[in-house]
Amino acid sequence: MPAIHAARRTTLRAKAAALGLDAFLVTDVLNIRYLTGFTGSNAALLVGTASEEATVFCTDGRYVTQSSEQVADLERVIDRPCDLALITRAAGGVIGFEGDAVSVNGHAELLHAAGESVALQAVSYLVEDLRAVKDAGEIELLRQACAVADTGLEDLLSAGELRPGRTEREVSLDLDERMRRLGAEDVAFETIVAAGANSAIPHHRPTVSVINTGDFVKIDFGARFAGYHSDMTRTFVMGEPADWQREVYDVVSAAQEAGRLACMPGSACTEVDAVARQVIENAGYGEFYLHGLGHGIGLEIHEAPTIGSVSTGIIASDMVVTVEPGIYLPGRGGVRIEDSGVVRPGGYELLTLTTKDLVVL
C-alpha cells in the first residue's frame, strides 16, 4: 500500500512542520511499519518536512531484499545503527525524535552523531496520535482479526472443550491453536482463562487449576492478523448459575451496553468511562470495578486512546476501541464482558460478534 503509507507520511510531515521541525526521526518499529509498510525488526526513518524526497529509510544488511520490496518508494540506506546513520545525513536545523522511544544513552549517542549544526528536540506520541484514528484498510484488518477470534471461540465451544475437568491452561492452549489454524499469525496477547475464584483476578494467567461445575470462567483473548490485534472477553458459567452470578453478570452487561452507547465522536474518554462506571456503582459494586473501561487497539494491543477515569483524550470517529467493564469479587469470582468496535457517527460498530448473553455450559 505505497499510496497509503505516503499519505500517512504527508500528514506526519505537516504535523512536524507545525512544530517547527526540519525533520522527524522515527525509531519505533511499529511506527515505521505504519509509515512505510516495513515489517522487519530494525530500522529508522528520517521524515524531512520540506518534501517526500527529503525522507530517507534505513535498515541493516539482513533486510536488503525485504526492504527493497516493502519500501521501494523511498531512498534506502543500508547501515547500522540506523538512527545514527540517518542523523548524520541531516543537513542541519531542528530534528525531532521520539522522546518516548529513545533511551537516555540513545539520546547521548544521537547528540554526539548529530554534530553542532543539528538541534535535537524530543517529541512524544506524534505518530501514535495519527495511529489512533484508523483508515478503511486498517479497520478491515481489525475486522478479520476479530473474526478469527470469534470463530476460534465458537469452535472451542462447539467441540465441547470448555467444560469441567479441563485445566485453565489446557483451554488456553486449545483456543490459541484454533486461532492459529484459522489464519492468525499469532495470538494478540497471552490468552487469559480464569476459572472460579481466579476469575476475580482481572489479568490472571492460566494455571493447572481445574474448571469445576459452578465456576465462572472468564476468557480474555485475541488474534493478531497481518499485524493488527483483536481483543474480546466473554464470561461463562459451568452449570446452572447461582443468583449472585446472574446478578453480577446482568450488572456488567448493562454497564457494557451503556459504555458502547456512550462511545460517540466528540465524547471525552472520562465521560464514556463514567457512564459505564455509574451503572456498576449504582448496583453497589463500585469498589469491585478495578480498571478503566477500555483502550484503542491496532498494531499494538493497547493504543491511544485510553478510556478511563483519569484519561485526557476525546473519542473520534474511526477510532477502534474496546469496551470492557468488570466486577471482581475476591474469593468468589468475577465477570468481564469486552468487545472491540469502531466509533462511528451513528454509534459503536461491533467487530467482535460472539453473543454477550450469559452462556451456561
Q: Residues 160-172: pLDDT tens digits?
A: 999 999 999 999 9
What pLDDT is stored for residue 63 in this prediction?
A: 97
2: pLDDT strictly greater than 90: no
Residues of the chain with CATH 3.90.230.10: 136-360
Is the preceding peptide bond at 305 cis, omega within 30 degrees of 0? yes
pLDDT value at position 209? 98
Instruction: Provide the residue count of the chain.
Output: 361
What is the C-alpha separation between 86 and 60, in angstroms, rounded? 12
Q: SS in 3 state form for 100-118? A: CCCCHHHHHHHHHHHCCCE
CATH number of 2-131: 3.40.350.10
Q: How many CB atoms lie within 10 A of CB 242?
A: 14
Q: Where in the chain is the domain with CATH 3.40.350.10?
A: 2-131
Confidence of residue 116 (pLDDT cuts 50, 70, 90): confident
pLDDT score, position 115: 85
Establish whether the linkage from the previous residue to 345 is cis, with ω within 30° of 0.
no
Q: Are 123 and 98 in contact (CB under 8 A)?
A: yes
Please determine, for residue 1, whether its predicted confidence score (pLDDT) is greater than 80.
no
pLDDT of 126 reads: 97
- The DSSP element (H or E) to which 64 belongs, if any, is helix 64-70
Among 26-35, 95-104, 251-260, 291-300, name the one with the lowest average pLDDT. Answer: 95-104
Cα–Cα dist 327/343, whole Å = 25
Give mean pLDDT, residues 114-142: 95
Confidence of residue 360 (pLDDT cuts 50, 70, 90): very high
Q: Rounded to whole angstroms, how far apart are CA atoms 69 and 1?
A: 11
Give the rounded percent of residues in the chain with a pLDDT score beyond 70.
100
Question: How many other C-beta atoms lie within 10 A of the C-beta of residue 47?
Answer: 25
More confident position, 1 or 43: 43
Q: Report the pLDDT value the prediction gives residue 91, as an integer from 0 to 100.
A: 78
Average pLDDT across the chain, whole number: 97
Using CA of residue 288, residue 290, residue 292, residue 298, what is the dihedral sign?
negative
Question: Quick check: bond before 164 cis, omega within 30?
Answer: no
CA angle 189, 191, 196 (to 5 degrees): 145
- For residue 338, the model assigns a pLDDT of 98
Q: Given this model, what pLDDT does residue 15 score?
A: 97
Q: Strand (E) positions, the chain? A: 23-26, 43-48, 56-59, 75-78, 93-98, 118-123, 186-187, 192-195, 216-221, 223-225, 228-229, 232-237, 294-296, 303-307, 320-323, 326-329, 333-336, 339-344, 347-350, 359-360
Backbone angles phi, psi at 71, to 5 degrees: -130, 45
CA pair distance 157, 173, nearest whole angstrom: 14
Q: Are 138 and 300 in contact (CB under 8 A)?
A: no
Under the banding of pLDDT at 50, 70 and 90, the label for residue 216 is very high
CATH of the domain spanning 136-360, picked from 3.40.190.10, 3.90.230.10, 3.30.1020.10, 3.40.50.11310? 3.90.230.10
Contact (Cβ atoms closer than 8 angstroms) between residue 307 and residue 336: no
- Is this model's pTM higher than 0.85 or not? yes
